[in-house]
Chains A and B, each alone.
Chain A
């Protein structure tokens, strides 16, 4: 046993875990997806974000955009409020990638895609079903030049079926899946999630599917095709909804913040904010009742079957709200700790950003980008002890990595590259389109990977 091991053994548990996770030492550790090259030819969020999750864990991702304006996502800034030419939406969906720009509709552009596909492990796209096949850069074409390729198509409703050719956005998937109609209060509005969860989370499950296919490829050498539908993914995550509808013939209604299966579990309004509270296990429910000074409720509803009845829920939830009204956020959080029930403030982005615990975990990743300066992302999730994820740089100007990829990776000559520029097959940012450009005060060198 080395002395270091012995030290680890004697540490209190959470300090031991901190030691093996070491958030400040992440760049000294290897990356789990090192050596995997991903060709990200999609646009907006649902495709590119698949590649981002892979990039955060070490894949080399090449994001292909149209010369000039680039990805349709580039102008997506909240309230049209940009930061040094960078839109927060584009930033959040494209860290740690190489950005090249090819007009894939031209024959030469397609040839470049073939050369890249030959050297890649994964292709991600999210065009309307059949589009890349029609362009000649679909799975059926690319698998011929690279039988080890994992090719994933991300779409609203999948590659076949009655809904296949419906136009799709995140909100369409949320609406069709039933997610919107199961969110909100019965006497309020059906509510869209406050974020593009169908895109961001759907893309994560696409990344998971890619890793499953890569794992199998490691054993067999074979690539394959994956059809990943966004709306079905949201439906998959709707817990007991479908089995309930099927059995009872009833709709899953909107229940506001109350959980009708985990009682009690709710969001309460208190004096200075909102707090989520849950107490399902007997000891937790007892603790909560004790904190409320209502042990009579515990005696009456200790039995979970009794507690889940509609009329019991009404009593428990209204008692909880009435009690919490007079408390502060801090009091409710502390009472939870003391009496053993779950409670936490409803966090805003500001709360997350300033939370000491999240800071200590480096859950918000603040970093200096060589082109855009100081930025923050939500850190890669989850946290791995031996091969952690990391943010390397943010989204980059359109086509900035053309030379790095075409010359260094594909072996094209300078002359060939220049000819492609002249023909408009490849390109860089358009200085008349500010969101495709580096920031105005960029020195023209910082952050370049080539030469």
Chain B
């Protein structure tokens, strides 16, 4: 070990760590730096699916050239928008996921359209599609046919049941709510039946508010695509990727499968508790709700000291007593005797002021409209105000991971249907202006 000690790299820098991180990973300086995926071309053929759109957004944020292919009338995903709110005929969610993409139209229901698609295939690295399994194959443009044109092609298919197995023939489309239902996430999220103080219709399995099934599915698709791109760099081989958003979200659903296998027990709806950690829950405050945690013996000591209830330590001395579903509402009711006439801020302050053994953590539960006002996200670029030539000034989520050398970025937000037809068909495929015009008239573009 002696030789190692001599070459020890320990040098403690003058610049505080946070300052270094901000200086070197500042997303507002992204434009000055290179892009990691700038040699990748992606054809996003998804239809009516935010899993597909999000997957290609992730690749586009890190520099892939993403060609968004819509049918001549536009993707129906442009219409998936709260209460029908649109800007220039495009729904809010689509504007968020149109980022950095070239928007073209192509009618793959025509023979000529399919021939054009094949011309693209020879020059793209990744294809993303969300049609029913076998649909594109029946048109002669599935993986079986396209991988012969381009053996390096990475073909990523997203569907509710996947492309093989007894239910693969189902023609049911992929929707977020179905993904969340099949993933098991909705099963454990929600108010248990026996909590009779809540209205009956609220005591049901509950999906997460946003399209988490779709987004998690899209995230796993992008992960699989990157793994396949690395494999292709080493071997030259493309491949087929089968993404089922419900399987993806199941992968994020704690340990419930593991537990079922060994104990044959099902974890049910858990309200705001956690089967493996307590205290780790939401508590009612005077002006909303707060999160509180004090799980291990020493941290439970901290929590019960803060709320001045040492008697609770006698009632629930170890995690064994604390981890029974009967305890949770009982013990919560005791904690809420303390919390319900305090503001969220006062609750947090009380945990920060504590100086004894262990730590009790508290946090605020924010409404989206309150989250939106927090300076933190705007300083870090988690939320961005973008003045877009097509859609005006809007606020959208930025790029999450902050890279030192190849930061992701938003170059533009979205484009109208077919806005980039000319640029892509002439610039990328080398078509002549008249040819493009003729195809447009024939409803092929």
Contact = CB atoms under 8 A, between A and B. Distances in A.
A192 interface: yes
A328 interface: no
Nearest to A142: B9
A280 B48 contact: yes
B400 A229 contact: yes
Contacts of B176: 259, 262, 265, 278
Interface stretch (A96-104, A237-245, A396-404, A440-448): A237-245
Q: What class of interface size applies to chain B in its complex with A?
A: 35 or more
Interface string B176-219: 11101111111111110000001101111111111110111001
Contacts of A201: 212, 216, 219, 252
Contacts of A262: 80, 175-177
Nearest to B369: A251
Contacts of A160: 18-19, 21-22, 380
Interface stretch (A60-68, A75-83, A290-298): A75-83
B172 A342 contact: yes
Interface in B257-276: 257-263, 265-272, 274-276
Interface string B220-251: 11111011111101010111111110111011
A239 B255 contact: no
B272 A275 contact: no
A214 B270 CA distance: 39
Nearest to A219: B39
Given A176-B371, A342-B175, A349 B8 contact: no
B96 interface: yes
B400 A228 contact: yes
Contacts of A213: 36, 403, 406
A231 B274 CA distance: 19
A384 B239 contact: yes
Contacts, number: 642
Interface string A345-357: 1111111110011
A424 interface: no
Contact of B239 (A76, A130, A356, A385): A385
Interface residues of A, number: 189
A382 B276 contact: no
Given A161-B376, A345-B181, A197 B80 contact: no
B173 interface: yes
A188 B81 contact: no
Given A78-B259, A205-B401, A267 B177 contact: yes
A213 B226 CA distance: 10
B216 to A, nearest CB: 5
A360 B166 contact: yes
A79 B275 contact: yes
B409 interface: no
A178 B367 contact: yes
B30 interface: no
Contacts of A347: 181-184, 187, 246
Contact of A243 (B164, B223, B395): B395
B134 A14 contact: yes
B323 interface: yes
A408 interface: no
A96 B255 CA distance: 16
A167 interface: yes
A43 B281 CA distance: 21
A43 to B, nearest CB: 13
Nearest to A376: B261
Contacts of B276: 76-79, 87-89
Contact of B205 (A162, A241, A346): A346
Nearest to B27: A227
B82 A260 contact: yes
B397 to A, nearest CB: 5
Given A193-B189, A344-B182, A240 B259 contact: no
A14 B250 contact: no
A237 B213 CA distance: 10
A275 B178 CA distance: 8
Contact of B206 (A32, A162, A184): A184
Contacts of A379: 247
A195 B240 contact: no
Contacts of B24: 225
Interface string B138-176: 100011100000000000100011111111111111111
Interface in A232-269: 232-233, 235-252, 254-257, 259-262, 265-267, 269
A241 B401 CA distance: 20
A364 B241 contact: no
B415 interface: no
Contacts of A249: 369
A205 B219 contact: yes
Contact of B173 (A171, A284, A348): A284
A166 B263 CA distance: 37
Contacts of A252: 82, 209, 367-369
B183 to A, nearest CB: 7
Interface stretch (B108-116, B333-341, B357-365, B417-425): B357-365
Nearest to B363: A172
Contact of A159 (B4, B21, B184, B267): B21
A355 B37 CA distance: 39
A254 B250 contact: no
Interface stretch (B87-95, B300-308, B433-441): B87-95
A353 to B, nearest CB: 5
A281 interface: yes
Nearest to A45: B254
Contacts of A187: 199, 202
Contacts of A27: none
Given A21-B240, A343-B172, A352 B184 contact: yes
A193 B178 CA distance: 16
Given A157-B376, A343-B172, 5 more contacts: A32-B230, A192-B272, A246-B385, A349-B184, A384-B242
Across chains A and B, which 7 residue pairs bring their CB atoms closest together, nearest first? A194-B188, A188-B202, A246-B395, A182-B209, A276-B181, A376-B261, A278-B175
